Structure 1
Amino acid sequence: MAIATIYTDGACSGNPGPGGWATAIYFADGSVHELGGATAQTTNNRMELQAAAAALEFLRTFGQTTPVALYTDSEYVLKGITQWVKGWKRRDWKTAQGKPVLNRDLWEALDRLNQPFVQWHHVRGHSGNIGNDRCDEIARAFASGSTPNLKHSNAAAPKTIILPTSSLSPATEMVSNSAPIADDDSQLPREVRLSQLHHLIETLRIADEIAREGYLISSSELADLMDVNASAVTSRGDHWAWRNWVVSRVRREGNQILWQLERTDC
């Protein structure tokens, strides 16, 4: 039985914070097979990427090679895999501005698993689309610490899908009803673990340089550094802690809020 469409979604409480992801696979006979998981400390973008990577990994293990429509409500995922990834690879995983690509480990997994017959589409979130709404429900449940009852289709045996976990902290993933994936990063290939560590160190080094030189950065730049949405930055208030730094709102210039990082040993 062929797969007709796939929906994916991710959710995060706090961003960074507890997260969940979901994938719903719809077969031509109308049956549905659902996957989902939880990560203790992650970001919304990583959950969106993990959901899409889980969908592609399931597709690979299922063995289908005929066209499949994959729907995501994340323009970050859609544009990244269909447009930006070619340039990132050409620049050795650097953005057009020369910055390291955030979530490189998951982008590399997604790029490796992607197939020409996968047709990527954007679906507007919370628009009444059954597949998107169901994935949103599953992802939010996992993010809140619940274990939703996932549907299992006879067209596909349960799969164990191992994907890169968040570099922010170890996590436990749940897939295909409740099959556990270990939270031990040692299961990942050494080169992937080194890539994650390199990315984390580079992020911290950039933040330290910004603090040391007294540079002011905009909300969008700070969000890129933290790997969160810009709204998650502005919603935290004027003075808050992030990792080894205190982040303070300095002033507004035009439509931009400027922030300062100050290193702290607390």
Structure 2
Amino acid sequence: MTKKNTSLHVEKVNEHIVQWLKNYALNAKVNGFVVGVSGGIDSAVTSTLCAQTGLKTLCVELPIHQAASHVSRKKEHIAQLKKRFSNVDSICIDLTETFELFKKTVPFSENEAKFNLSLANTRARLRMTTLYYLAGIHGLLVAGTGNKVEDFGVGFYTKYGDGGVDLSPIADLMKSEVYALGHYLKVPDSVLNAAPTDGLFGDHRSDEDQLGASYDELEQAMNAVEAGKTAADFKGRDLEVFNIYNRLNSANKHKMNSIPVCKIPNELRQI
């Protein structure tokens, strides 16, 4: 769990993000925001920031074979948020049956690793589709919950899944900064103390299990890369994490970069 000290001016950052959200929504002429709430710190902070705008904030539970601990955490957070903010509403849409029907409809793969990863990404994409459906019928924007390390460091999200959003209020915050903001926003302790997990595989694996490093470690590696450091500057575990970060950053560039477009030369066009 990330609890690293941070110099973030949480009160000012809170005000800045809330005003940014409010201005964006008003300029877009929408009613507010829809947020997929997972029981984790990122979605808890994002939904609280959206709620502070005073605009309609719809918190959505989208369980797919969800662990009981995840369910209890998100219900606790949503209940607290609804008690604090009159503009917050919630809905639970169980996508388990939809997910199981999808599994029966598509071909089975003998490659277990690729099969399981594809199904994990499918969960995220079913949730994205549902969030956009709700956004459409209520005139809302889908608020992303990704932080800076996930979105721009290691690409730890599903393309067109949890990466499919209208705006990203916390994507310039490191994970430690999200925790600092979460403490300031009085996010429930159960959420603050939970090990980060995407919950996409239907088991108890944490983000650290999947990434091979903690967010604190990856944060330090990301800062080192931005400072121009190379592998020659590290040894031991620091070198291992530095290499993990660079490997994931390189492998997931296709998520973080714009979609490549094949440009047609003018000489191939009839004038």
TM-score (norm 2): 0.26
More helix by share: 2
TM-score (norm 1): 0.26
